[in-house]
Amino acid sequence: MNWYELPDVGRAVVAGVFGLFVGSFLNVAIYRLPRDDMSVSNPKRSQCPSCKRPIRWYENLPVLSWVFLLGRCRGCGWRIPWRYPLVELLTAALWAFAAWRSAPAHWGVLLVQLLVLAGLVVATFVDFDCFEIPDEVSIGGIVLAPVVALILPEIHADTVLAVHLSHGGAIERWPALVATVVGMAVGGGILWGIGWIGEKIYGREAMGFGDVKLMCGGGGLVGPGGTLAALLIASLAASIVGVANILRVLWIVRARVRRRGTSRPFRRSLHTARIVGRYLPFGPYLALGIGIVLLAWNDVRAWF
Ligand SMILES: [Zn+2]
């Protein structure tokens, strides 16, 4: 049975179920990659981060185990963060969507998309946790992009530059490679430039180098036009969340002022909220932008 003989929904269900188990593995990667004393394969068995009790296979089923354990470790009652089932469901949803959308595409292109989506999920949650993006993801993308362009030039079937250089026919190797390299330069270059200017103005690091590396790899995979769209989506999303976060902190500060009955001026509360609320990782929004462009570039382009 050919993968593409399956109905769209069938492909989505198969990819979604695989995505659940992959999401479970990504949880391990998200926890271990930023920790120097651990790796994805060491220790071999998963253990409770609180009591070190080994986790049995039936306690490790994606989403289901979390529900049946009522979100607690059976050994010590440690509250298992709801982020664990969230990562599993998110990965499943992304994989299902990619498989569902991939109808006319090469199955190899779909495999690359699934791999990249998994990497973006890891980058997102590690950045939320530790304000860093693991090199395994960012440098992984930088290495992956040109290799994919050479083995699977179809990945750039919708990249204007590659289509143009292939004279509108099937995408050839070197146009795909050119689109990759230009995409990497645009993605990495723009963020590096913003960081450089920001550092001159504010006198401190304004853009993490992890973000630059992530966008460099991502840019290689989505091409120069897709990179610009991804950056625009990322900036918009980060601005909206940034403003919401400042308002959230402001609300907390004002609630405390009211509780204590002090007469702190509103302007000072706003100042505090702006300083505290500003510290947000940018990686998750870059990942969002890259993911949207990766899965729906033609729709994004039409929309722009
Ligand atoms: Zn425990």
Residue 54 alpha carbon to ligand 1 centre in Å: 9
Amino acid 147: pLDDT: 97
Q: How far is CA 271 from the centre of its chain?
A: 31
- DSSP letter string over 10-44? HHHHHHHHHHHHHHHHHHHHHHHTT-TT-BTTBSS
Residue 271 alpha carbon to ligand 1 centre in Å: 41
3-state secondary structure of 280: coil
Amino acid 1: pLDDT: 58
Q: Report the range of poorest mean pLDDT among 57-61, 288-292, 293-297.
A: 57-61
Residue 64 alpha carbon to ligand 1 centre in Å: 18
Residue 255 alpha carbon to ligand 1 centre in Å: 35
Is the torsion defined by CA of 201, 224, 152, 4 positive or negative?
positive
Residue 65 alpha carbon to ligand 1 centre in Å: 14
Give the best-scoring range by mean pLDDT among 19-28, 205-214, 251-260: 19-28
Q: Report the range of poorest mean pLDDT among 34-48, 62-76, 106-120, 240-254.
A: 34-48
* DSSP code, position 53: P
Residue 80 alpha carbon to ligand 1 centre in Å: 9
| Cis check: omega of the bond before 43, within 30 degrees of 0 | yes
Residues 81-134: pLDDT tens digits?
Answer: 999 999 999 999 999 999 998 866 688 999 999 999 999 999 999 999 999 999
**Residue range 209-235: mean pLDDT, rounded:** 96
User: What are the tokens at 248?
Assistant: 């959230």
Per the prediction, the chain carries an average pLDDT of 91
Residue 40 alpha carbon to ligand 1 centre in Å: 20
Residue 72 alpha carbon to ligand 1 centre in Å: 8
Domain ranges of the chain: 1-104, 115-304
Residue 42 alpha carbon to ligand 1 centre in Å: 19
Bridge partners (DSSP) of residue 79 are: 72
Residue 45 alpha carbon to ligand 1 centre in Å: 14
CA angle 260, 261, 266 (to 5 degrees): 100
**What's the pTM value of the predicted model, to 2 decimals?**
0.92
Residue 47 alpha carbon to ligand 1 centre in Å: 8
Residue 131 alpha carbon to ligand 1 centre in Å: 26
Residue 30 alpha carbon to ligand 1 centre in Å: 19
Residue 85 alpha carbon to ligand 1 centre in Å: 17
Residues 62-87: pLDDT tens digits?
Answer: 999 999 999 999 889 999 999 999 99
Residue 125 alpha carbon to ligand 1 centre in Å: 22
- Kindly tell me the burial class for residue 57, based on how many C-beta atoms sit within 10 Å of its own C-beta (0-12, 13-18, 19 or more): exposed
